[in-house]
Amino acid sequence: MKTLITSLAAATILLAGGVHAADKPVRFILVGDSTMASNSGYGDAFCARVNRANTCINLAKGGRSSGSFRAEGRWDEVEGLLRGSAAYRATYVLIQFGHNDQPGKPGRSTDLKTEFPVNMARYAQEVKALGGVPVLVTPLTRRTFKDGVLENNLGPWADVIRATATAQKVPLLDLNADSYAAVQAMGQDEADTLAMAPRPADYGVAPAAGKVEVAGAAKTAFDRTHVGAKGAAYFSRMVMEEIKRTIPEAAGQFKPESEQ
């Protein structure tokens, strides 16, 4: 009888474990700069679209590059979370850099040929090593037009990310291409409604010469890089749709359209 009870108990544990494994949630971790961060980017709006919002963690931080995010120890938090991945069926780590890797940003800039590719590849490799799924994201376009044509000075950084995703055999969300096409189609006036604040009547197309951006969250003023609620909703939907196309197994992790 004791043996029978022991066997039944073991079977119950195995069955429960199997059911539990099937019911484990999927987790998303967002890593990037201000265009993904809370209050200035699309990250929180993206998390709001996930079925279980508490399994979507936005760790993006304003002013960070592929180099400074790690140098400040922020990547350590991501690795810590990945070490607890057993509680999840899968953990997707969305990694988006480029804006602050560009030249002219002291303490943040990375060399496009020698540093940026290495940094992005290392992120992908380390996520895989800890059992997560790295998802590389090309940088969200800026929204400045010149003579009716949208500028895309982030193109070279997007190219590096595309090549890295191919080399590392990891999913790619080409947000730069998607957002560029969409913003180009809508034109300057409509694109400006995606900003954090209304466009001032005297706002110039180009930023002031010699202006140095300070690391950190975006200021609560109009610019053509960061996004307000409308822009966050718009681009978070774009990222969600990219995930559905690129990672079909994650397509069911989002709320129905009527609940978003």
For 39-51, the pLDDT digits (tens) are 999 999 999 999 9
Q: Residue 139 — φ and ψ, nearest 5°? A: -65, 140
Q: Which helix (H) or strand (E) holds 137?
A: strand 133-137
Average pLDDT over residues 93-101: 98
pLDDT at residue 21 in the model:
64
Q: Copy the structure tokens of residue 74.
A: 């922020």
Q: Residue 179 — φ and ψ, nearest 5°? A: -70, -35
78 pLDDT above the threshold of 70 = yes
Alpha carbons 158 and 180: distance in angstroms, whole number? 11
pLDDT band at 20 (very low <50, low <70, confident <90, very high): low
pLDDT at residue 85 in the model:
87
Question: Cβ–Cβ contacts within 10 Å for residue 233, how many?
Answer: 18
Sign of CA dihedral 218, 223, 225, 231: positive
pLDDT at residue 208 in the model:
52
Higher pLDDT, 205 or 250: 250
Average pLDDT over residues 157-182: 98
Parallel, antiparallel, or unpaired: how do β-strands 172-173 and 133-137 relate? Answer: parallel
pLDDT band at 23 (very low <50, low <70, confident <90, very high): confident
Phi-psi region of 98 (alpha: psi -120 to 50; beta: other; left: phi over 0): left
pLDDT band at 258 (very low <50, low <70, confident <90, very high): confident
The single residue listed with the structure tokens 């951006």 is 213
The separation between the first and the last C-alpha atoms of the chain, rounded to the nearest angstrom, is 55
Parallel, antiparallel, or unpaired: how do β-strands 149-150 and 145-146 relate? Answer: antiparallel
CATH architecture of 25-200+211-259: 3-Layer(aba) Sandwich (3.40)
Q: Which residues contact 125 (CB under 8 A, 6 or more apart)?
A: 168
Q: What residues pair up with 56 in beta bridges, in sequence order? A: 28
The single residue listed with the structure tokens 């943040």 is 108
Average pLDDT over residues 8-19: 40
State pTM to two decimals.
0.86
pLDDT at residue 204 in the model:
65
CB 132 within 8 A of CB 81: no
Four-CA torsion 257, 37, 73, 106, nearest 10 degrees: 150
Q: Where are the domains of the chain?
A: 25-200+211-259
Average pLDDT over residues 171-189: 98
Alpha carbons 145 and 27: distance in angstroms, whole number? 37
CB 165 within 8 A of CB 154: no
pLDDT at residue 257 in the model:
81
238 pLDDT above the threshold of 80 = yes
